[in-house]
Amino acid sequence: MRVVLVAPNSKAHTVTPPLGLGYLASSLRKRGHEPAIVDLAKLRLGGKSAAAAVLKQAPGLIGVSVLSTAYLPARRLIRAIRARRPELPLVVGGPHITALPEDALENLEVGLGVIGEGEHVFPELVDRVASGMLVDDGIPSLCHYQGGSAACSPRAPFINDLDSLPFPAWDLIDPRTYPDLSHQLLHKKFPVAPVMTSRGCPFDCNFCASTTLWGRGWRTRSYGNVVDEIELLARDYQVKEIHFEDDNFTLKASHAAAICEEVIRRGLDIVWCTPNGVRVDSLTDELVRLMKRSGCYGLAFGIESGSQAILDHNNKKLDLDNVAAKIEMVKRHNIETHGFFIVGLPGETVDTIKETIRFARRMPLDRANFALLAPLPGSDIFRKYLLGCGNGNEIDYSAFNYFTPFPMGELDAAALNKWQRRSVFSFYGRPRQLWHLAHHTRPAQIKEVVKALVHYST
């Protein structure tokens, strides 16, 4: 069957190959189906134009991956497709569907959804659609909407043997065809390809939805399997930079070290960084030295707040005194440092925001993000403060963008916007940070870098 997998457009400043759809496509090929991928974020298409681009691929079935930050564009796309081809089978999946399956299917008016990891479930669903069999009989992780209500079958077990999955269908998401706007925008070399070496997270921060999506267990690919993929990307797609997108790439030092050692052993001419961040407290001098030898030039850290009280209140198990020592250690190895901070976490006050600003300025960070809290579906904050508020109002998904405030304490929306601006200006209004930003911005990125700074400071 011809299956067209779709990544909806959004307002994101970055555009990267959709790894999830790449894995689904290769899993479909393994079962004899013919996948295509339409990345509307790369094409910058929405509405009727987006629907036309999807239908041009002559689908027998359409699968739409839905992020909460792209929920509204996904809804518009689905409605436009339905208006033109109501008979086409359409299935939704992805993080938003996994977190809110019944609500999502009802509001998207879609009959079928897949929750969790889809590499095993979705091909089985396609098999049944292609053969005309019942699709809601015995398939785990399947949600079915009919007669005004939705129900989901029990979730399939997480995939423990990640090496059993075929590599993403890189020919359908060729990194060379993507704009020079990788995750976190700035990078050293191009083309850039994202790679995941593990799934899952044993931590349970209030603001994060990772455990809902991937579980609390931590599952890894073997180092040989990971480096085989990197070698393929370098050889067949001329990729020069790898972005490790794991939630916990360095959780177990031996895992990260084995990958670095294999990259060195094979003599791969690549550089790499971790734009999704690593646990800064998991780093050792020995590991960072090995990372540097294998091509690492940048490490990002999810610090979230410069207030220990806010970190503790939001279950971020991190000691700020340890963070300072680790960042200084990383800088001694001449590796770029990037800190992530969230403005507006539950318990936030003007004083705790000031603590965050002072901490960020005191650290030897080359870059820093000061994002407003987005209470992502699947997170504890979403469950407690949005689902648990009991006001019956529809959730405004247009605000899930990291620069629209969600007041959750004593600070109102205007105050949160003001303090986000002050955070950005205070950090980047220094010569060293401005020089670093200008020096590392490539010509094709200038427009989006400026737009990002405007979004985060207005």
pLDDT by 10-residue block (mean), the chain, 458 residues? 96 89 98 97 91 97 95 95 96 96 92 96 96 82 87 94 98 95 83 97 93 92 98 98 96 97 98 95 96 98 97 96 95 96 96 98 95 94 77 72 87 96 94 82 72 64
End-to-end CA distance of the chain: 48
- Asked if residues 144 and 111 have their Cβ atoms less than 8 Å apart, the reply is yes
Q: Which CATH superfamily is domain 2-152 in?
A: Cobalamin-binding domain (3.40.50.280)
Q: What is the model's pLDDT at position 457? A: 58
Element at 342 (helix H, strand E): strand 336-343
Phi-psi sector, 317: left (phi>0), alpha (psi -120 to 50), beta: beta
pLDDT at residue number 391: 47
pLDDT of residue 454: 67
**Domain range 174-455, its CATH number among 1.10.1200.10, 3.20.110.20, 3.20.20.70, 3.80.30.20:** 3.80.30.20
The pLDDT, as a whole number, for residue 403 is 84
pLDDT at 392: 47
Cβ(130)–Cβ(1) under 8 Å?
yes
**What string of H, E and C letters represents the secondary structure of 249-318?**
CCCCHHHHHHHHHHHHHHCCCCEEEEEEEECHHHCCHHHHHHHHHCCEEEEEEEEECCCHHHHHHCCCCC
The pLDDT, as a whole number, for residue 393 is: 58
Where exactly are the structural domains of the chain?
2-152, 174-455
Element (H, E) at 223: helix 223-237
The answer to whether the bond into 191 is cis (omega within 30° of 0) is: yes
* pLDDT given at position 455: 64
Length of the chain: 458
DSSP string, 345-361: -TT--HHHHHHHHHHHH
Contact 153/140 with Cβ under 8 angstroms?
yes
Residue with tokens 């995939």: 159
3-state percent breakdown (helix, strand, coil) of the chain, nearest 5: 45, 15, 40
CA pair distance 66, 169, nearest whole angstrom: 19
pTM of the model: 0.94
Q: How many CB atoms lie within 10 A of CB 134?
A: 8
